[in-house]
Amino acid sequence: MIFSTRTLLSLPLLVLAIVNANAAVISNKTVSSSRIHAQNTITTTSSTNDGILNNSIGNGIFFVAGIITSFASIVGCSTIMMITFNTWKKLKKLPPSQKFPFYMSIMDLLIALITIPNLFYPMQNNELLNSEVLCQIFGFSMSSLIIMNMILMTTFAIKTYLHICKRIIVNFGSYDWKLIISILTLSTPFSIITAVFNGYGQDNYWCYMNRMNNYGSKASMICSVIFTYIVIMTTTFCYLKVIKTIHGVELMLASKLFKSAWCPIKCNRSSSMTNEDGLELRPPSFFITIMSIQSIPTASQQTVASNIMKATRKLTGYIFLQLIQYAPIIIYCLCFLYDVNEVWIYILFIVSLNLGSVAKTFVFLKNEMFYDN
């Protein structure tokens, strides 16, 4: 077969066109496959995010219980703050036995105010907050307030131990500025370091610790477990020592030897008439040498002892409730570290966090209103 010159020249162009057509087909297949892969990835991601809130019954219990107890906490904390403000208006100062529940109520109130929108949004939209920055702010605020409250509890426990068991009065300065500075100094670096390592973010049911970042969040949880154990052990030691000392003094004052030399009813009346709180007074020396006391204390010493025991009983009651309130944090942290995502862990955590402040409100009303009246 004989080909013309024009035909021979057109052959390379034809081959080039065929190659380009095949390349275009391959490119279209690659693009379509990448699109399908991207759609599958998006679908997988969305299904994973939807899987965060896949337990409808557990979600409902968690959200409803958390929001209801948060509102109850707000009411209780507001009650404590109003009563404390009225006391300050009358006395122009706050007794130490009222300062501790007042400071606790401020932090519990802030925790409840942060918790409500943190739970209400996922309950309404069936998804967590989309804004990463806002979610980190919620987690940072919750963590900081919880740490501050635990430091406050430990500080007052140590202060009470030194006052009752060692007869050392700790002064926090005007407006308790030393207390405020110490709490901020100890709590702020921990929260900032956790935020720097992206430890705060989306948890399973709310915005708290970041489930997606294993390094930052789990390192923070390990530190939280260690810190909580130290706080609980220190507070428990101080609490038991104070209770033991107070119980020993009460037994001593209730003995026949002291009843014959002193009328408890008169001293109780005189102690209730004083404006000084028992935690402002230095304990008598027999607080340390209960078993080896050689002489009967004077009536004034026994009156001071009665005032101190009354105020200390109030304070130790708040410390005990605070211990119960924050003990479930250890369970939450350990389950977070071992990737246990059961909904009951979150329910226990949020309910104990809010109901602790409600319980302290009832104890505060009993101490400052019903009991005193």
Q: Is residue 14 over pLDDT 50?
A: no
Q: Is residue 308 over pLDDT 60?
A: yes
CATH of the structural domain 53-371, one choice from 1.20.1070.10, 1.10.10.10, 1.20.1600.10, 3.30.70.920? 1.20.1070.10
pLDDT band at residue 311 under the 50/70/90 scheme: confident
pLDDT in tens, 71-80: 999 999 999 9
Q: How many CB atoms lie within 10 A of CB 320?
A: 18
* pTM check: above 0.85: no
Question: Which residue type occupies 117?
Answer: P
**Average of pLDDT values for 263-272?**
45
- Return the SS3 of 293: coil
| Helices H / strands E in the chain, number of each | 11, 2
What average pLDDT is seen over the chain? 78
Strand positions, DSSP E, 170-243: 200-202, 207-209
Contact criterion met (CB below 8 Å) for 324 and 356: yes
Q: Is residue 247 over pLDDT 90?
A: no
Contact criterion met (CB below 8 Å) for 220 and 194: yes
Query: Where do the domains of the chain lie?
Result: 53-371
Compute and round to an integer the Cα radius of gyration of the chain: 32
